[in-house]
Amino acid sequence: MMAGIKGRNTKPELVLRRALHRAGFRYRLHRRDLPGKPDLVLPRFGAVVFVHGCFWHRHRDCRFCTTPKSNAEFWLKKFEGNVARDAAAIESLCKSGWRVAIVWECSLRGVDLDQHLRTLADWLGGRNQLLELPVRAPPSKLSDRNLDSAAPARPC
């Protein structure tokens, strides 16, 4: 089952790549020399973009962020490792001077794409270090204790 899960050129990633290219942005893909192998690297802007799947990277309060009922201990450990690896990659990129954007899979579904593309384009033209799409409300204390609701730490 897990062998069939793609790590690059996923549908959400392709949607974002096409939209950015259509808007005139040029990028490099999956640079292995950068921590976390970002999905998109925009060297002209000193920025990288990760397209995170809500399930695998634990998008807080997202309907696509579920935990399988069978073998729950395995999945919780796997998700915890993914979130920790994401946080370490983001921190390392920020320390190296890169600006980091995280685009969640759910934000690329439906009508929000144009608005999120404008937000991403504005961020690329600005100076902010970190961007996350969609922008979320601050987490509640209850959800902080639940791994289902865990999100990458904001190290920048």
* CA-to-CA separations, 19 to 9, 24, 57, in angstroms, rounded: 14, 9, 23
- Per-residue pLDDT tens digits for 89-115: 999 999 999 999 999 988 888 766 888
Over the stretch 16-59, which tens digit does the pLDDT of each residue have?
Answer: 999 999 999 999 999 999 999 999 999 999 999 999 989 889 98
- pLDDT tens by residue, 56-75: 899 888 888 888 899 999 99
Domain 2-149 CATH superfamily: VSR Endonuclease (3.40.960.10)
pTM over 0.95: no
Residue-wise pLDDT for 111-148, tens only, equals: 668 888 899 999 999 999 999 988 654 444 333 333 33
Cα torsion 50, 115, 9, 148 to 10°: value is 60
